[in-house]
Amino acid sequence: MSSFVMTAEERESFLSGVHIGVLAVERDGRAPLAVPVWYDYTGGEVLIWMERDTVKDRCIRKAGRFSLLAQSEQLPYKYVTAEGPAAVDTEPPSREQALTIARRYLPEDDAVAYVDSALGDSSILVRMRPEKWLSNDQGKTA
């Protein structure tokens, strides 16, 4: 029987690719919050740019950790889930940090316009260094 689990190199390469992430975080007395997010991962750290004092922000601050799922919806199916402690920067992300995330999902002119309109004092950068991983690659063979 073959294993569909990715190697460390495979999962980091997959997570570095462009995927809409699904952020999952605990919340009191309710099902976990699970929402799509844009993210960056270049090895070592997941970065998510969001607004301060949103449901996502409050849940992450309270839980102190979150998971991020990235998946491929084309055959063969693949996914990587990374979980770890969260660190919320006290200052907004730099313009370059915000552009790095936006450029993963938008053409250059659109990324610049988006960052110029959305980046502000209420913006925060959330960091997570993965400690636990789950992965599956249905295309792996023995």
Tokens of 83: 């979980």
| pLDDT (0 to 100) of residue 140 | 81
Phi, psi for 67 (deg, rounded to 5): -115, 150
Domains defined for the chain, CATH in brackets:
8-137 (2.30.110.10)
Residue 2: which pLDDT band, with cuts at 50, 70 and 90? low
Residue 8, SS3 per DSSP:
helix
Per-residue pLDDT reduced to its tens digit, 115-136: 999 999 999 999 999 999 999 9
Q: Residue 101: what residue type?
A: I
Q: For the whole model, what pTM was predicted?
A: 0.92
Residue 56, SS3 per DSSP:
helix
Per-residue pLDDT reduced to its tens digit, 88-123: 998 999 999 999 999 999 999 999 999 999 999 999
Tokens of 135: 């992965």
